[in-house]
Amino acid sequence: MNISIKGAALGVALTTALTAGAASAQDTIDLKISHAFPPTHYLIEHGLDIWVNGLKEDLGDRVDFTIYPAQQLGKAAEGLDLVSNGAADLVFTATSYHPTQITVSGVAELPGVFSDICVATRASMEMSREGALFDKVDFEPSGVRAIYNASLPTYNVVTATRKVEKLEDFEGLKLRTTGAAMDLTARTLGAAAVRMPSAELFQAAQRGTVDGALYLYAGMPPYDLQTVFKHSTEGVSMGSTHVVLLMNREKFDSLPDDVQEVFLRHGVAAAENNCAWMAENDSLVRDKMVDEAGLEVVKLGAEETARWKERTDAVAADWAASVGEHGAEAVEAYTAAVGRIAAKN
């Protein structure tokens, strides 16, 4: 009797353990993340990796990630399609890579609308929440949900051989840009705009497809751009780039409520960590390139600064007109959000 009872008890225990194990395996949320950046890129190490590690810490075996970096799952311009059609569950991308589907979010790329990238990041996060302007116009129609956003440090002019010291020096320059706002910025200063992903810029500079770029200092070493661009000009904002972690909306909506909360909470943490790192390190990266790569920095004087700003200040209105519906609304709302958040700091 005792043996049969023990055997029965052991059978029940084994059945329970196997059932629990199967449920545990079944409950694991397997997610594929695609992005176009090198795995050691600062946007990954100080942003996306922070988000992934935070989720693993809070959710343990409930989530599992497979990450496809450096365009392994698809080209940078294909990122939004990958996540919209479910080939990837999440994509970390620059909104400027998807100009036909993502429009109003490009307001974060305008020159002169912010000076503090953490303030800009928080403004974009606010406007990307469910039902807010970025979400309503850009993300929901594309079948995605924004998990977190980041604004990059304001861009400068970097060139291979020609110093840019005055407006007239832009004539004939071919500058790499990203997005409609930066295209307008380059053209209003007198240069030709050549739009391409960062991953293609080094080869384009070597081949002479571009003479330079509107770019940020921290973004140069990941692509070895300090070896091809030897001059920079700073003093007037050339705009910025707006990046965002997007998740397939149906996939996000299928997550348990507590998991959704963890995803969004760690999104805030990743965004804050990323902007703090960039704010601290952009000028440090510049100084290192000056010392080690021979980068020569031109700082505009007051008179030339005023000439440049007179032109770049007009870009916002031109951008809003080019976007059409919601363009002016986006400029007004984003500017207001930046001002309100900056006032709290």
CATH level 3 topology of 28-152+241-279:
D-Maltodextrin-Binding Protein; domain 2 (3.40.190)
Domain 28-152+241-279 and domain 156-240+283-344 have a common topology: yes
pTM: 0.90
What average pLDDT is seen over the chain?
92
Position 120 scores a pLDDT of 98
Position 134 scores a pLDDT of 98
Q: Report pLDDT digits (tens) over 277-287.
A: 999 999 999 99
Closest CA to 44 of 93, 115, 99: 93
Q: Report pLDDT digits (tens) over 12-65.
A: 333 334 333 433 445 899 999 999 999 999 999 999 999 999 999 999 999 999
CATH level 3 topology of 156-240+283-344:
D-Maltodextrin-Binding Protein; domain 2 (3.40.190)
Position 15 scores a pLDDT of 39
Going from N- to C-terminal start, the domains of the chain cover 28-152+241-279, 156-240+283-344
Position 5 scores a pLDDT of 29
**Higher per-residue pLDDT: 10 or 163:** 163
Q: Report pLDDT digits (tens) over 219-264.
A: 999 999 999 999 999 999 999 999 999 999 999 999 999 999 999 9
Position 242 scores a pLDDT of 96
Position 23 scores a pLDDT of 35
- Mean pLDDT, to the nearest integer, of 72-100? 96
Position 235 scores a pLDDT of 96
Position 27 scores a pLDDT of 82
* Per-residue confidence band for 189, with pLDDT thresholds at 50, 70 and 90: very high
Question: What is the percentage of the chain residues whose pLDDT exceeds 70?
Answer: 92
- pLDDT at residue 119 is higher than 50: yes
- pLDDT at residue 11 is higher than 80: no
CA-CA-CA-CA dihedral for 146, 128, 96, 186, to nearest 10: -160
* Per-residue confidence band for 318, with pLDDT thresholds at 50, 70 and 90: very high
* Per-residue confidence band for 345, with pLDDT thresholds at 50, 70 and 90: confident
Position 107 scores a pLDDT of 98
